[in-house]
Amino acid sequence: MPVERFIIRGDLAAATFLPWVARHLLRLGLRGETQRSDALCVEMLVEGPADLIDAMEMGVSLGPIEAWVETIERLPLNRCGSA
C-alpha cells in the first residue's frame, strides 16, 4: 500500500486541528501517524490507496474552520520509509 509523508504548513495552532486530521483519516479508512507538530507545521505519514491519499490532501487543505492550511507537500516513501 502506498505511503506518503505529508508536510502541512500554515496556521495550525488550533487545538482542533490534529483531532480533525485524525478523524478525517478514519473517515477515509487510511492509516496515519503524526511525526511532528507545532503551530506552523505538521508532519505525518499517510498510508492507503493512492486515490484516498489524494482525497486526504483535498480534505486537509480545507481543514477545520479555526485552522488555515497554506500548503501540503507530499513525499512518496518507499517501503523502507525513506523518500
Partner 1 sequence: MTDPIRDEWYPVALVSQLGPEGRDTRLLGEPVRVAWHGGAITVTSGGRSLPSQQRYGHVWACPGTPQRPLFDIPEADQPGRRLVDVGLVRVKCSPLRAVENFLDIAHFPFVHTDILGAEPHTEVGRYDVAIREEVDEVWATKVHFYQPQAAKSAAGGITTEYMYRVPAPTVSILYKTCPPRPGEWDVITLFVQPLDEELCEVWPWMALFDDDTPMTDLIHFQQTIFLQDRSILENQLPHRLPLDPGLEIPTRADLTSVAYRRWLKRRGYTYGAQLVAA
Measured from the CB atom, is 23 or 39 closer to partner 1?
23
Residue number with CB closer to partner 1 (13 or 62): 62
Q: How far apart are CA 53 and CA 67, in angstroms?
A: 20
- Asked if 62 interacts with partner 1 (CB under 8 A), we say yes
Stretch that binds partner 1, among 1-9, 38-46, 58-66, 73-81 (CB under 8 A): 58-66
Residue 83 binds partner 1, judged by CB under 8 A: no
Q: Compute CA 55 distance to the chain's CA centroid, rounded to the nearest angstrom.
A: 10
- Neighbour-count burial of 6, counting CB atoms closer than 10 A to its CB (0-12 exposed, 13-18 middle, 19+ buried): buried
Question: Would you give the binding string for partner 1 spanning residues 18-37, x where CB under 8 A is met?
Answer: --x--xx--xx---------
Reading the block at residue 66, the C-alpha cell is 479555526
